[in-house]
């Protein structure tokens, strides 16, 4: 019977799993050529660490130890499962020869090579051939190291549903023979957009949860920012900088967005002394770098808008003209209904609620935001400022019928109560 693992060592290995599993898995996928086998052997390597490290101590560099151990576990697993049919014998022989021919064994694995592995895995998990929900689930599972239960809880689905998404994504990778590689330079802009979008989706779900009892989910925003940092380090394109800047600037306000009892606090009423100045400074610096490249896009423009808010001492001195000008640039390259809606809110701050209401009505007439609660909530607020109580009530009630997030429901219910 194995001896119990000291509690402190167990916690250390758990922390290592959080920080290292994505790197280890990425290299194993390259070495083994199979995502499922790589994941299984990685877990066996961490289990082996629980058994070995109480006796030998934690290696100075645990990552190569884990990769090497996992690789041998994979070879053993193939032997056990296949009983050496011809193809599998060749695979085992090939894997063993690679291990035996590497001078220094596990020390042969270089940091730069592991960085490349990590980038390859990101592009594989975010391949446009995969369904968007599969891209998000696979990214959080394989790159961030979150458990199926943690991801399911964050997105308010059952673990079984989330597991099915991951299985479908892995099956698609295998059947479509999606290559485990960084795209060629000429393919990079299109493929990079898919990666940025997945990270943005993860962040948005954490920043403004679609449903549930909380406004934000710090675990998801934290993982998205970690992914954004990693992507920028490995692929320092202007839009990678822009997305990371946007996430840092938005996250900087998290502590001020809800009261101690969980009520939603709008931007105009937030205590700006609670904003995280380190995140704001880092975000602004990244925005400036991205803008100076002259090759920026939608994420950098959104980050620039967030920076104007972040640098204003109050809502009253916010440079709304600059924000409208930035939205004007944004609608030229991303003319989406939500961008037009946000622009309309900024116009209301510049030119008054009547002007903003005209813009929001034009957006709603297009029909795409008919069931978007924020459009109706914004419309209600402008009606309220104009003293048009009946119309404000109708819009607030429409917004209330469409939202599933409890703090937002409470906020809208309070607005309705005040008007009545």
Q: What is the DSSP letter of 255?
A: G
CA distance 117 to 28: 9
CA distance 377 to 399: 5
Mutual orientation of helices 7-32 and 62-82 as an angle, nearest 10°?
A: 60
Q: What is the pTM of this model?
A: 0.75
Buried b / exposed e over 270-291, threshold 16 CB at 10 Å, is beeeebbeebbebbbebbebbb
CB 323 within 8 A of CB 301: no
CA distance 111 to 116: 9
Dihedrals phi, psi of 57, to nearest 5 degrees: 85, 160
**Segments making up each domain of the chain, as ranges:** 7-109
Confidence at residue 100, expressed as pLDDT on a 0 to 100 scale: 47
Tens-of-pLDDT digits for all 420 residues of the chain?
Answer: 455 567 788 888 888 887 788 888 989 988 888 888 898 999 999 999 999 998 888 888 898 999 999 998 888 888 776 655 555 555 555 555 554 444 344 445 555 555 678 778 888 998 989 998 899 899 888 887 778 887 887 676 899 999 999 999 999 998 998 888 878 877 777 788 888 988 888 888 788 755 555 556 777 888 889 889 988 887 889 999 999 999 999 999 999 998 888 888 889 999 999 999 999 999 999 999 999 998 889 999 999 999 999 999 998 899 999 999 999 999 999 999 999 999 999 999 999 999 999 999 999 999 999 989 999 999 999 999 999 999 999 999 999 999 877 888 999 999 999 998
Among positive and negative, which fits the CA dihedral 28, 31, 37, 43? negative
The candidate with the shortest Cα–Cα distance to 226, out of 9, 23, 10, is 23
CA distance 187 to 136: 21
The candidate with the shortest Cα–Cα distance to 33, out of 79, 71, 65, 68, is 71
């Amino acid at each position: 019977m194995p001896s119990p693992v000291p509690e402190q060592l167990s916690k250390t290995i758990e922390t290592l799993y959080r920080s290292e599993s994505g790197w280890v898995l990425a290299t194993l996928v390259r070495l083994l050529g199979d995502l499922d086998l790589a994941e299984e052997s990685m877990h066996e390597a961490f289990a082996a660490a629980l058994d070995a490290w109480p006796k030998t101590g934690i290696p100075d560099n645990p990552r190569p130890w884990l990769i090497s151990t996992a690789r041998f576990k994979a070879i053993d697993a193939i032997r056990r499962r296949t009983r050496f049919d011809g193809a599998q014998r060749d695979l085992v022989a090939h894997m063993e020869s690679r291990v035996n021919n590497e001078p220094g064994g596990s020390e042969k694995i270089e940091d730069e090579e592991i960085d490349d592995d990590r980038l390859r895995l990101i592009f594989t998990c975010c391949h446009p051939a995969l369904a968007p929900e599969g891209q998000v689930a696979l990214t959080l599972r394989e790159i961030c190291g979150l458990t199926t239960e943690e991801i399911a809880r964050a997105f308010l689905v059952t673990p079984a549903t989330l597991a099915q998404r991951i299985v479908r994504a892995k099956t698609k990778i295998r059947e479509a023979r999606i290559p485990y590689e960084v795209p060629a330079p000429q393919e990079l802009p299109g493929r990079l957009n898919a990666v940025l979008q997945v990270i943005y989706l993860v962040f948005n779900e954490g920043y403004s949860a679609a449903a549930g009892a909380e406004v934000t989910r710090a675990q998801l925003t934290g993982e998205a920012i970690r992914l954004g940092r990693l992507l920028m380090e490995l692929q320092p394109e202007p839009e990678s900088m822009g997305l990371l800047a946007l996430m840092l600037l938005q996250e900087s306000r998290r502590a001020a967005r809800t009261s101690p009892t969980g009520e939603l606090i709008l931007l105009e009423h937030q205590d700006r002394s609670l904003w995280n100045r380190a995140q704001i400074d880092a975000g602004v610096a990244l925005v400036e770098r991205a803008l100076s490249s002259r090759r920026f896009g939608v994420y950098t423009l959104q980050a620039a808008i967030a920076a104007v808010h972040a640098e204003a001492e109050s809502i009253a001195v916010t440079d709304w003209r600059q924000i409208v000008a930035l939205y004007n640039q944004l609608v030229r390259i991303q003319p989406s209904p939500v961008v037009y809606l946000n622009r309309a809110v900024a116009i209301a701050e510049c030119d008054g609620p009547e002007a903003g209401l005209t813009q929001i009505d034009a957006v709603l007439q297009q029909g795409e935001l008919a069931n978007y609660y924020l459009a109706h909530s914004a419309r209600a607020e402008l009606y309220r400022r104009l003293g048009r109580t009946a119309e404000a009530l109708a819009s607030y009630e429409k917004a209330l019928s469409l939202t599933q997030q409890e703090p937002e429901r409470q906020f809208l219910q309070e607005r309705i109560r005040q008007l009545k």
